[in-house]
Structures are given as structure tokens and as C-alpha cells.
Amino acid sequence: MFTAIGTYMTRMFDQIGGAAQMVRSSLFWLTHSRFEFRQAVDQSVTIGVESLGVTALTSLFTGMVLALQAGNTIGNIFGEPIFVGTIVTFSLIRELGPVLTSVVVSGRAGAAVTAQIGTMAVTEQIDALYTLGTNPIRYLVIPRMFGFMLTMPILTLFSNLFGVLGGYLVAVYALGIAGEVYITDITSFMGVRDFMHGFIKTFVFAFMVATVCCYKGISTRGGAEGVGKSTTGAVVTTIVLILVLDYFLTAILTAFGI
């Protein structure tokens, strides 16, 4: 048992150290070389634009089910559904919007990034980049990290919008709440501080997802089987870290009054 625990801990800290070295190298090349603008734009389209549909659909139905559950629960307690707009909006903008967007992007774009870089690693294309005098961190990692950092906050904005819209549709057409009341519940209690609480989280999640997925891809070994293991490991790791980081970020931001 102790051997297994020691082996697991050694492997975990080895991966953390490798990811930290990759981030350090990314910062170095970002300030000492030409930025791959075309690659960054292509990755932004792949990560952001192509993830918009599934993100919007997920958030729309999340807002709908939040409104339905809140309306029925509050209706059973107080006799009528009140503050449904407030509950839906606070839940989405402060927590569910950033978390669900990060999970969806991790499962869709993060897995694709890991599989793409991992395939290049096992087919020795990364070694070929070294031979050609091109650093893989500058050419592969930095554009993808830029794509995640740029697009995930924008996707979160759309996620919040569609979630609130879904809650509005259910509140008006299923619960019989006036649309003006739903909007008033939002504008009366929601402030800029609440919006920033969730928006700040998105940048941390984006950096974490980009780091884990790129490192898992670069460190892939073992052919096609290794690519599958790296992709699965990247998705599972990012989803777990999103939930773990969400708690600590919430505690820190709340302590600072955000």
C-alpha cells in the first residue's frame, strides 16, 4: 500500500513539475520570440467558435431547469414562485456559468488539443520541430493557451446570457411569472461585483485547462494507446480541478468582498 501511494505521489509531483516548467518556458518564449498570430487565431476559432453551440445549449437548459426547480420549490413553501429571476441569475453568473462553460470546453476543445499534440508527440513531429529550429512550446503551446484565455471568458458571457434566457422562458410560459417581474428580480439585486465574481474565475479555469491539456499532449508516450490515455487523463484532471479550484476561488473572492 505504501509503495503504491509513494509511486502515485511521485508521479503526481513529477507531472506538476513538468507542467510548471512548460508554463515557465511559455512565458520565456512569449517575451523573447515572435508571436504566432495566425496559429493563435486558428486555435481561438477551434476552441471558442466551435464550442459556442454546445455551450449555449447546455446553459439554456440549465437555466430552464433552475427556474423550474426554484419556482416549484418556492411555490410549495410560500404559495407562489417568487425571486425566481434572482435565484437563476445568481446561480448562473456566480457559479454555474463559469463552471459549466469550463467543463464543456474542457471536454470538447481540451480533449481535441490533447489528442492533437499527443499524436504529434508519438509520431515524432515534435522532434521534427526541434530539428527545424522551431521550439514546440512557442509554436504549439502558446497559441493554444492564448485561445483558451481569450475565448473562455467570452463563452462564459454567452453562457450566462442563454442561461438567463432559459430561465425567463420557463418563468413566463411555465410558471406564469410576468416577464417584467423576472427582469426586476435580476436588476434589483444583481451588481457588478456579482458579475466579476464569476468572470474572474473563468480566467483561472482557462489557464488551468490550457496548461493541463497542453502538458498531457506533449508528455504523451506509447503510440495510439498513449494518446487515448492522455486525452482521458486530461479531461478527468481538468474537470476535477475545476470543481476543486471553484471552492478555493469562491472562498478567496468572498474574503476580498467580490
Burial class (CB in 10 A: 0-12, 13-18, 19+), 165: middle
* Spatial distance between the Cα atoms of 88 and 183, rounded to a whole number of angstroms: 11
pTM of the complete model beyond 0.75: yes
- Kindly provide the b/e burial profile for residues 93-118, where b requires at least 16 CB atoms within 10 angstroms of the residue's own CB: bbebbbbbbbbbbbbbbbbbbbbbbb
Percent of the chain with pLDDT strictly greater than 70 = 100
Q: Which three cell numbers stand for residue 75?
A: 411555490
pLDDT at 208: 94
Per residue of the chain (258 residues), give pLDDT as tens. Answer: 778 888 878 888 888 888 888 888 888 888 887 888 888 888 888 888 888 999 999 999 999 999 999 888 887 777 777 888 889 999 999 999 999 999 999 999 999 999 999 998 888 888 887 777 778 888 888 999 999 999 999 999 999 999 999 999 999 998 888 888 889 888 888 888 888 998 999 999 999 999 999 999 998 888 888 898 999 999 999 999 999 999 999 999 999 887
Q: Which three cell numbers stand for residue 61?
A: 437548459
pLDDT at 27: 87
pLDDT at 202: 94
Phi, psi of 176 (to 5 degrees): 75, 20
Which one-letter amino acid corresponds to residue 103? V
Report whether 185 contacts 84 (CB < 8 A). Answer: yes
Report whether 186 contacts 203 (CB < 8 A). Answer: no
* Spatial distance between the Cα atoms of 64 and 76, rounded to a whole number of angstroms: 18
- Count how many Cα atoms sit within 13 Å of the Cα of residue 208 in the half-sphere of its side chain: 22
- The string of pLDDT tens digits covering residues 72-112 is 888 777 777 788 888 999 999 999 999 999 999 999 999 99
Phi, psi of 220 (to 5 degrees): -70, 135
Residues 46, 52, 57, 58, CA torsion sign: positive
